[in-house]
């Protein structure tokens, strides 16, 4: 029996219809406190901009409050989008939190998309099932190109910044180690980050540059099942193929997954209502909306035009009673070989989000159910 991987939390600071961004931020801090009590290993924040229902736009700022409100749980990002800030700015922000809370900071780095056109969904023509794990076909969707361009301008993104990803990562590592020398030949020392024991991760959704670079540098890698589920095994395989001992002696992978559990199956599926609308708002270009209340959400089955855009996210979201959720997470761990699982949960009411994480922690820590004995005379 494979040992169950440690669980960690990925949070976006979402908030429900009728709530405020401040409510979402406070709920994230409260969830971090509870996650520490329930034994989650890490509490990571995503970086999302210009979303009307997500308050997590400045993760390094919020992490300072989370680290101050907790004692032991590791805190960090999944991921800091490198094109939105310079390598020095990223290091200084992470280093400030790490200096105040040493030994607890994880800096997750994600590669930027192009600044000129929205990232296209990679082509996966059909759904696959591998050893019980659904690997869905990518759904076609169109971003609002004007909104995308405005966001890039406001973040001062520059043409070609995605192509500088490897150099940015190397600069970050050198600044943390105190070995950075500027092109002008000047040694640079990034206070207060230099020498802090910050754990650097690379995150990726495909078998692309992030997976390969994480492997070559011997860094831990975060693979994305909850947003780009069809590519997760390819990404993990590419990382492991490229791996050379570096920071780590052996590959180490965390796999993200969207989970919602409740006290019973019916309650979980009721709380899950609204997810399709929420995902559609992101993919349609308006940004994530405030999460709908179950009573006000679109009923299922969704209309065909909406379903065509969000079905992959519905297929990879793990929803149900705790025992059913554990079974599906065990499948995800087995198929991907994940060393850790990174759980994200979106609900209208933050109390339901907390309850989901509590139930999952309890069920995941419980001993696996023993196989039922075979009755005498039964055929194998």
Q: What is the pLDDT of residues 222-240, one digit of tens each?
A: 999 999 999 999 999 999 9
**Confidence band for 290, pLDDT divided at 50, 70 and 90:** very high
The pLDDT, as a whole number, for residue 369 is: 62
pLDDT surpasses 80 at 119: no
Q: List domains and CATH numbers for the chain.
A: 7-365 (3.20.20.30)
The pLDDT, as a whole number, for residue 252 is: 98
Instruction: Give 378 or 166, the one with higher predicted confidence.
Output: 166
The pLDDT, as a whole number, for residue 84 is: 93
Burial class for 140, CB neighbours closer than 10 Å (0-12, 13-18, 19+)? exposed
**Confidence band for 160, pLDDT divided at 50, 70 and 90:** confident
**Confidence band for 167, pLDDT divided at 50, 70 and 90:** very high
The pLDDT, as a whole number, for residue 380 is: 27
Omega of the bond leading into 301 within 30 degrees of 0 (cis): yes
pLDDT surpasses 50 at 378: no
Q: What is the pLDDT of residues 91-113, one digit of tens each?
A: 999 999 999 999 999 999 999 77
Q: What is the pLDDT of residues 311-322, one digit of tens each?
A: 999 999 999 999
> Mean pLDDT lowest for which of 29-38, 138-147, 295-304, 339-348?
138-147
Q: What is the pLDDT of residues 25-34, one digit of tens each?
A: 999 999 999 9
What is the average pLDDT score of the chain?
92
**Percentage of the residues of the chain whose pLDDT score is greater than 70:** 92
pLDDT surpasses 90 at 264: yes
Average pLDDT rounded to a whole number, residues 277-299: 95
Q: What is the pLDDT of residues 180-218, one digit of tens each?
A: 999 999 999 999 999 999 999 999 999 999 999 999 999
**Confidence band for 143, pLDDT divided at 50, 70 and 90:** low
Q: What is the pLDDT of residues 327-376, one digit of tens each?
A: 999 999 999 999 999 999 999 999 999 999 999 999 999 887 654 443 33
**Confidence band for 377, pLDDT divided at 50, 70 and 90:** very low
The pLDDT, as a whole number, for residue 112 is: 79
pLDDT surpasses 90 at 120: no
**Confidence band for 159, pLDDT divided at 50, 70 and 90:** confident
């Amino acid at each position: 029996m494979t040992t169950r991987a440690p669980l960690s939390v990925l949070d976006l600071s979402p908030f429900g219809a009728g709530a405020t961004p401040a409510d979402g931020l406070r709920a994230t801090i409260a969830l971090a406190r509870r996650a520490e009590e329930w034994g989650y290993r890490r509490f990571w924040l995503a970086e999302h901009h210009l979303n009307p229902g997500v308050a997590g736009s400045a993760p390094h700022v919020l992490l300072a409050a989370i680290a101050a409100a907790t004692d032991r749980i590791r805190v960090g990002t999944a991921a800091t989008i490198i094109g939105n800030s310079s390598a020095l700015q990223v290091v200084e922000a992470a280093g400030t939190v790490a200096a105040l809370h040493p030994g607890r900071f994880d800096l997750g780095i994600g590669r930027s998309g192009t600044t000129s056109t929205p990232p296209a969904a990679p082509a996966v023509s059909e759904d696959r099932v591998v050893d019980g794990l659904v690997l869905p076909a990518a759904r076609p969707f169109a971003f609002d190109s004007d909104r995308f361009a405005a966001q890039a301008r406001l973040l001062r993104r520059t043409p070609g910044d995605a192509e500088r990803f490897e150099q940015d990562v190397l600069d970050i590592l050198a600044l943390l180690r105190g070995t950075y020398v500027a092109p002008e030949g000047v040694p640079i020392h990034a206070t207060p980050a230099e020498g802090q024991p910050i754990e650097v991760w690379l995150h990726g959704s495909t078998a692309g540059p992030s997976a390969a670079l994480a492997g070559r540098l011997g860094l831990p890698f975060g693979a994305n099942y909850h947003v780009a589920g069809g590519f997760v095994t390819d990404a993990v395989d590419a990382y492991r193929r490229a791996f050379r001992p570096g920071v780590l002696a052996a590959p180490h992978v965390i796999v993200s997954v969207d989970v919602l559990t409740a006290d019973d199956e019916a309650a979980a599926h009721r709380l899950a209502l609204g997810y399709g609308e929420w995902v559609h708002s992101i993919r349609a270009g308006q940004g994530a909306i405030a999460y709908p209340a179950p009573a006000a959400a679109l009923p299922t089955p969704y209309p065909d035009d909406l379903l065509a855009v969000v079905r992959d996210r519905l297929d990879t979201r793990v929803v149900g009673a705790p025992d059913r959720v554990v079974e599906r997470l065990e499948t995800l761990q087995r198929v991907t070989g994940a060393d850790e699982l990174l759980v994200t949960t979106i609900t209208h009411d933050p109390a339901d989000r907390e309850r989901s994480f509590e139930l999952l922690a309890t069920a995941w820590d419980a001993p696996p159910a023993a196989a039922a004995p075979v009755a005498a005379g039964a055929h194998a």
